[in-house]
Amino acid sequence: MRLVKVIVDEGDLKPVLAVLDDEEIDYLRFERVDTGTGSTDELLVEFPLPDQAVEYVRDRLDETGVTGRYLVTVRAESAQTERFAALEDRFITGTEEGDSISPEELRTTALSLHPDPMAYYAMTVISALVAVSGLLLDSAALVVGAMVIAPQVGSALTASVGAVMHDWSMLKRGVRAQFVSLSLAIVGSAVFGVVLQSIGSVSPVVHLETIAEVGERTSPGVLTLAVGIVAGSAGAVGLATALPVSLVGVMIAAALIPAAATVGIGLAWNAPSIAIGALVLLIANLVAVNASGYLTLRAFGYQSEDDTDFSAIRKAVVAIGLVALVVLTGATFTLQASFENEVNEAVNEALDEEEYEDLELVRTRTDFLFVPGSEPPGITVVVGRPADQSHPMLAETLGETISETTERDVAVRVEFVERQQYETGRVNVGTARGQGMELSRITNHWRN
């Protein structure tokens, strides 16, 4: 609930109290409030409201034209007044229910999520270093830990609210904080990676593409983009409805911090394909988080009535920048999705051959980015096979089929998972997934 306090001149008191009486709101009136202005005819009126009623009542008070100089809304624990329960029934469970908070409170809450710049940047770099450790160790737990301590939710929501409210300084602050913090995260991750190599903790010749946690952040895809879209939208919903946004912050960090750390890893290990792929993913998710946050707030009805701080030129710059980023990322993801579909079709076509009828496709992962001069797209195919069979030419067969289908050079890696299955009354050596015991994993490489 909220406690609203408003100071009005004695001559304007009647219309304010008329609104409160009309809405059946209990209030207190304090006579002769000293506001330091020297005036002796100012009065303080305060009244409790459910969160959902604040914006509606403030709009009603604005109609009186007497609330522009001093109106404060603060949090309160509880209220016991004659008609407060009726207000709760009306605005929380009744026909006038609504969860959105007032625009002023939205702005204040968003700014409060953004801590001191030094602390913000320091925590971002620290979270990136934790993410680097988790990525190189292939530890999902450490990567999640990095997301938990990352403070990206504050700057992302600050930018979205600034764009919706046409607050240029707020928008600029949020965008600058995101750009600087993620740049520091990339640089810090790269330096950390070089230090790890220099002290011998991690080999300089480690094959990054074989690390699952790294590989997941080097190939932008529709599903990875969906994380950014959902994260930004969830953050905006939490902010607009005064719900806790701390857990949502973890999701926003999930879309940004591991990707930034992967860019640093790619730089430290001189792996351009890793760095560029992760950078595209980072930019795409950054755009998705901010754009979805903005659109969600607009869907809640938030918008500015005053454009004095948001000139036409600034609007044009923001619009052009967003359109350019959306087109770039949209084209990238369209090409990526098309290539993945072609790869899946080629893999299924190859495994449909009679000689591979005993094989079972477990999964296919495509690491791909359209960058001139980059290495051929990497494709990992995991198949299950009977423990007594060998298919030494499968990587070559898949490579030729995929190249023919996609009309591109590719690098194919096949991982065999051997399994044994036991059934009562007989022993059956096969590839039944989810049963038996994994005996070994053999990796074959084929460069086409």
Beta bridge mates, 446: 412
Please give the pLDDT value at position 99.
56
- 379 backbone dihedrals φ, ψ, rounded to 5°: -130, 125
Residue 18 has pLDDT above 70, yes or no: yes
Q: Residue 260 is which amino acid?
A: A
Residue 164 Cα to chain centre, angstroms: 18
Please give the pLDDT value at position 264.
94
Least Cα distance to 381 among 420, 340, 419, 353 occurs for 340
Return all residues near 184 (Cβ < 8 A) that are at least 6 apart: 121, 124, 125, 128
Residue 398 Cα to chain centre, angstroms: 35
Is there a common fold for 2-98 and 107-310? no
Fold classification of 2-98 (topology level): Alpha-Beta Plaits (3.30.70)
Q: Each residue of 121-161: pLDDT tens digit? A: 999 999 999 999 999 988 888 998 999 888 888 888 888 88
In the chain, domain spans: 2-98, 107-310, 338-447
Please give the pLDDT value at position 190.
94
Residue 326 has pLDDT above 70, yes or no: no
- Give me the percent of the chain exceeding a pLDDT of 90: 11
Q: Considering the chain, what is the average pLDDT of its residues? A: 78
What's the rounded mean pLDDT across residues 341-345? Answer: 87
176 token code pair: 């600058």
Please give the pLDDT value at position 369.
59
- pTM for the whole structure: 0.67
Q: Are the C-beta atoms of residues 82 and 15 closer than 8 Å to each other?
A: no
Q: Which residue has the higher pLDDT, 420 or 431?
A: 420
DSSP summary character for residue 217: T
Q: Which residue has the higher pLDDT, 53 or 135?
A: 135
Q: Each residue of 162-208: pLDDT tens digit? A: 888 888 888 888 989 999 999 999 999 999 999 998 888 787 767 77
Least confident of 177-191, 238-252, 404-418: 238-252
Q: Each residue of 259-269: pLDDT tens digit? A: 999 999 999 99
Grade residue 432 by pLDDT with cuts at 50, 70 and 90.
Answer: very low
Grade residue 42 by pLDDT with cuts at 50, 70 and 90.
Answer: confident
Q: Which residue has the higher pLDDT, 311 or 441?
A: 311
Least Cα distance to 214 among 290, 140, 163, 107 occurs for 140
Q: Does the domain formed by 107-310 have CATH 1.10.287?
A: no
- Between strands 411-423 and 378-386, the pairing is parallel
Whole-angstrom Cα distance, residue 378 to residue 413? 8
Q: Each residue of 78-131: pLDDT tens digit? A: 788 888 888 877 777 655 545 566 777 777 778 777 767 888 899 999 999 999
Please give the pLDDT value at position 195.
92
Percent of the chain as helix, strand, coil, to the nearest 5: 55, 15, 30
Beta bridge mates, 421: 428
Residue 29 has pLDDT above 80, yes or no: yes
What's the rounded mean pLDDT across residues 236-242? Answer: 79
Grade residue 382 by pLDDT with cuts at 50, 70 and 90.
Answer: confident
Grade residue 311 by pLDDT with cuts at 50, 70 and 90.
Answer: low
Whole-angstrom Cα distance, residue 98 to residue 74? 19
Residue 440 has pLDDT above 60, yes or no: no
Residue 442 has pLDDT above 50, yes or no: no
Please give the helix or strand (H or E) that residue 215 lies within, else none.
helix 212-215
Instruction: Kindly list the distances between the CA atom of residue 53 and the CA atoms of 22, 255, 256, 359, in Å, as whole numbers in the listed order.
Output: 14, 34, 35, 62
Grade residue 444 by pLDDT with cuts at 50, 70 and 90.
Answer: very low
Please give the pLDDT value at position 68.
57
Residue 426 has pLDDT above 60, yes or no: no
